[in-house]
């Protein structure tokens, strides 16, 4: 699933750059949609606004998710598992 870029930072002398904060992630949250009750708590707590509700399901944008695990910690149904990022 493709998301539009939401995070830009005016750094560097040559103009505005897009920061994909997902580039430094070592763990990736994975939602178990069988357990998810669609409460939206993960959406509210994500510090980089990487969780969106699309067609009734909460989905994670891995372009910006930095793997902090807050969503997994706060999910009341333990529906988010943190998996080791491949290649790290």
Residues that bind ligand SF4 (CB under 6 A): 29, 31, 36-42, 46, 48, 50-51, 58, 60, 65-71, 75, 77, 79-80
Contacts of 38 (CB under 8 A, 6+ apart): 53, 56, 57, 58
Coil/strand/helix, residue 30: strand
Task: Return the number of the residue (19 or 36) whose C-beta is nearest ligand SF4.
Answer: 36
Query: In whole angstroms, what is the distance from residue 76 CA to residue 88 CA?
Result: 29
CB of 27 to ligand SF4, least distance (A): 7
CB of 35 to ligand SF4, least distance (A): 7
């Amino acid at each position: 699933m493709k998301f539009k870029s939401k995070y830009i930072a005016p750094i560097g002398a040559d103009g505005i750059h897009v920061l994909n904060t997902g580039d430094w992630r070592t763990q990736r949250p994975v939602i178990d949609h069988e357990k998810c009750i669609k409460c939206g708590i993960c959406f509210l707590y994500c510090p980089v606004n990487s969780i969106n509700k699309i067609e009734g399901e909460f989905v994670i944008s891995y372009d910006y998710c930095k793997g902090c695990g807050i969503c997994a910690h706060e999910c009341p149904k333990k529906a988010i598992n943190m998996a080791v990022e491949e290649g790290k």
